[in-house]
Amino acid sequence: MVAPLKVGLAGLGTVGASVVRLIERQREALEARCGRPIEVVAVTARSRGKRRDIDISRFRWAADAVALASDREIDVFVEVIGGESDPAKRAVEAALSAGKSVVTANKALLARHGVALAALAEQHHVALNFEAAVAGGIPIVKTLREGLVGNSLKRIYGILNGTCNYILTRMERENLAFAQALEEAQRLGYAEANPSFDIEGHDTAQKLAILASLAFGTRVDPGAVYVEGIASITPEDLRAADDLGYRVKLLGVAVKTENGIEQRVHPTMVPKGSAIAQVMGVTNAVTVDADAVREITLVGPGAGGEATASAVVSDIADVARGVRTAPFGCPSARLAGVEKAPMQRHEGGYYIRMLAVDKPGTAARIATCFAEESISLESIMQRHFGPRPLGGEDPSAARPVPVILITYATTEDAVRRALAKVEAERVIEGKPQLIRIEKT
């Protein structure tokens, strides 16, 4: 009989408990498929005595994550503590340095310290697997690292945050305001009490930085990601998108351009007929554009204990079968520095919604500002709420009317200049809303 793979598990929250259950439930299948049993032998977590719905009495209890990481008995260290700093960081470093493979679900740690940790893993000839860190149960890391190895990638984009997608789905379907949809998401446990990390796009940005590294063979660099959240999206935007044949999704997009790798997270208009537009609620999805395979889309659960544990267990199984791939596909020393494509040079179509002062010539003046920046308009819609009041010649009496522009492909820079001009003309009220359109 082949020796079992001995697992040390740090973190016994929802994911950790699911990992324990899954390894037990699939004991036989895992042994058959890996050629050896997989056994949890030692665990640790913040509190030993906490009530849990799994029995941990049969596992040895380690004093802390770092102690567990260098425990002589374990072969693989599974880190589901989370957080970019200690104890997760120190524990993962300790395990790798002790020559143990590491499986982690920790996106923050990888986004911040991924390259250094990959180098450490390579130096000690062990695996550093992190399928669960991006898009939960969707095997996108394996697909990029192994499945698409014969391709040059052009673009990767996805819905990587279930909270935001749930909120946008509810807003669209029930015509809810952002705040209402967020409240509902919080009530249902889909959003944290402090939701800013999700709704401001930072969670998506960390995951995107990891995907971009895998996709383009570049160093992970979350600082190179342009980030906008979804709080500014209104039901009016979603209705207008619908009228125009689009849906609004918070996308993470990494794309190879002439100016380098563009990485951006922002609300995005995608054609209703595209695969990504069909993805509703907390579901995640990732689309890859590559030279050989053209387009591949993976759709599945982005979070949840069992789905995340499924990814963790598949990473553990790879270790059990003796598979070791460079953590980011390419050996860390060969990862190229990210040449960050500046957002001002981003090219694409734009949706712009403004509240225009309702007086003659306003639409013409707005259109002129765009024309002066050589931006072609695909459409311009001005929506009156009703008949203009008597004496409408007097601007002070006029109500502002929404004006919606759709531009043909142009640059971020040109759009920003055109909007500055429009603002200087004093023909709009408040800040214009701007949503980028992604070709899918």
Q: Report the nearest approach of a copy of itself to the CB of residue 382 (Å).
A: 34
**For residues 22 and 181, which CB has a smaller minimum distance to a copy of itself in the complex?**
22
Q: Which of 114, 252, 329, 432 binds a copy of itself (CB under 8 A)?
A: 329
Q: Which of 12, 22, 119, 404 binds a copy of itself (CB under 8 A)?
A: 22
Cis omega (within 30 of 0) for bond into 342: no
User: Of 82-90, 133-141, 225-233, 390-398, which part binds a copy of itself (CB under 8 A)?
Assistant: 133-141
Q: Which of 73, 174, 243, 291 binds a copy of itself (CB under 8 A)?
A: 291
Q: How many residues bind a copy of itself (CB under 8 A)?
A: 60
Q: Which of 138, 251, 369, 418 binds a copy of itself (CB under 8 A)?
A: 138
Q: Report the nearest approach of a copy of itself to the CB of residue 81 (Å).
A: 20
Q: Please, are residues 211 and 289 in contact by the beta-carbon 8 Å criterion?
A: no
CA neighbours closer than 13 Å in the CB half-sphere of residue 55:
3
Window 86 to 115, contacts with a copy of itself (CB under 8 A): none
DSSP string for residues in 358-396: -STTHHHHHHHHHHHTTPPEEEEEE--SSSPPTTTTSGG
Window 308 to 327, contacts with a copy of itself (CB under 8 A): 309-314, 317-318, 321, 323, 325-326
**Which contacts qualify for 293-301: CB closer than 8 Å, 24 or more apart?**
293/148, 293/151, 296/143, 296/148, 298/135, 298/138, 298/139, 298/140, 298/143, 299/138, 299/275, 300/135, 300/136, 300/137, 300/138, 301/136, 301/137, 301/138, 301/162
Is residue 23 within the footprint of a copy of itself (CB under 8 A)?
Answer: yes
Is residue 37 within the footprint of a copy of itself (CB under 8 A)?
Answer: no
Q: How far apart are CA 348 and CA 235, in angstroms?
A: 23
Active site residue 154: no
Is residue 296 within the footprint of a copy of itself (CB under 8 A)?
Answer: yes
Is residue 368 within the footprint of a copy of itself (CB under 8 A)?
Answer: no
Look up residue 369 and give its two tokens. Answer: 């500002």
Q: CB neighbours of 375 closer than 8 A, spacing ≥ 6?
A: 407, 408, 410, 414, 415, 418
User: Of the residues 89, 107, 142, 207, which is catalytic?
Assistant: 207
State whether residue 199 is helix, strand or coil: helix
Catalytic residue numbers read 207
**Binding interface with a copy of itself (CB under 8 A):** 18, 22-23, 25-26, 29-30, 32-35, 131, 137-139, 142-143, 145-152, 217, 273, 275, 278, 290-301, 304, 306-307, 309-314, 317-318, 321, 323, 325-326, 329-331, 334
